[in-house]
C-alpha cells in the first residue's frame, strides 16, 4: 500500500472518533451569573432568574461542575426557556462536543 493511501485510510478510520458527541442527560440548566450561587440546589433556580441573567450565558451543572455553552448553545437555551412554562427545576438533555470546559452544543432539549 502506498504511504499516501495508508495515511488517508488511517484518517478516515479516525474521523468518527474525533466527531463523537457527548450527551448529558437530565442535568440542571443554569446561567453563568448564578451557577456558583445555585450549585447546592440548582433545581430551586427559577426560569425568570435564568432569563434575566441571559447576558451572562448558560451552561449545565454536571457532577457539581459548571460547563458553559458556546454561543449557539446559549441561543438554544434562551429559545427553550422562552418556550417553557416551567417555573424552576430546569433540567435539560444536551448533546455536543466538549472542548476544554466549554460545550459546543448540537442539541438542547428542556426536559
- Look at the chain and report how many structural domains it folds into: 1
In a domain, 25, yes or no: yes
77/111 Cα distance (integer angstroms): 12
Name which residue leads in pLDDT, 70 or 15. Answer: 70
Residue 80 forms part of a structural domain: yes
Name the percent of the chain lying above pLDDT 90: 78
Is 26 within a domain? yes
* pLDDT value of position 10: 60
Tell me what pLDDT residue 8 has.
56
Domain range holding 104? 21-110
Indicate whether 15 belongs to any domain: no
Using alpha carbons, select from 63, 64, 59 the residue that is nearest to residue 98. Answer: 59
In tens, the pLDDT along 49-100 reads 999 999 999 999 998 999 999 999 999 999 999 999 999 999 999 999 999 9
- What pLDDT shows up at residue 20? 78
Domain annotation covers residue 8: no
Amino acid at each position: 500500500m502506498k504511504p499516501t493511501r495508508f495515511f488517508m485510510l488511517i484518517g478516515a478510520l479516525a474521523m468518527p472518533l474525533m466527531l463523537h458527541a457527548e450527551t448529558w442527560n437530565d442535568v440542571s440548566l443554569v446561567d453563568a451569573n448564578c451557577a456558583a450561587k445555585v450549585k447546592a440546589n440548582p433545581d430551586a433556580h427559577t426560569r425568570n432568574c435564568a432569563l434575566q441573567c441571559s447576558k451572562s450565558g448558560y451552561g449545565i451543572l454536571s457532577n457539581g461542575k459548571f460547563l458553559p455553552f458556546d454561543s449557539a448553545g446559549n441561543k438554544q437555551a434562551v429559545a427553550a426557556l422562552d418556550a417553557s412554562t416551567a417555573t424552576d427545576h430546569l433540567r435539560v438533555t444536551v448533546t455536543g462536543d466538549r472542548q476544554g470546559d466549554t460545550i459546543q452544543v448540537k442539541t438542547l432539549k428542556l426536559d
